[in-house]
Amino acid sequence: MKKKITIYFLSLSILFIQHSIAEQKFLSLKNSKVNVRHNPSLNSPVKYIYTKKNLPVKMIDKKENFRRIVDLKNNSGWIHRSQLKPSISIIILEDKILFKKPSNFSKPIARLEKGRLLIVKKCQNIWCKIKTDDYSGWVEIDNIWGSIK
Report d(CA 94, CA 114) in Å as an integer.
4
Contact 103, 95 (CB under 8 A): no
Please give the backbone phi and psi of residue 105, each rounded to the nearest 5 degrees, phi first: -95, 0
Q: Which residue has the higher pLDDT, 13 or 97?
A: 97
Q: Which residue has the higher pLDDT, 23 or 64?
A: 64
Whether 25-86 and 89-146 share one fold: the answer is: yes
CA angle 29, 31, 33 (to 5 degrees): 100
| Domain ranges within the chain, ordered by starting residue | 25-86, 89-146
State percent of the chain over pLDDT 90: 81
Which pTM does this prediction carry? Answer: 0.80
Report d(CA 134, CA 84) in Å as an integer.
25
Q: Which CATH class is domain 89-146?
A: mainly beta
| pLDDT score at 134 | 87
User: 3-state DSSP call for residue 11?
Assistant: helix
User: 3-state DSSP call for residue 142?
Assistant: coil
DSSP H stretches of helix in the chain: 2-23
pLDDT digits (tens, 9 = 90+) for 83-113: 999 999 999 999 999 999 999 999 999 999 9
Residue 113's identity, in one-letter code, is E
Q: Determine which helix (DSSP H) or strand (DSSP E) holds 91, and give its type and residue range.
A: strand 89-92
Q: Report the CATH superfamily, name and number, of domain 25-86.
A: SH3 Domains (2.30.30.40)
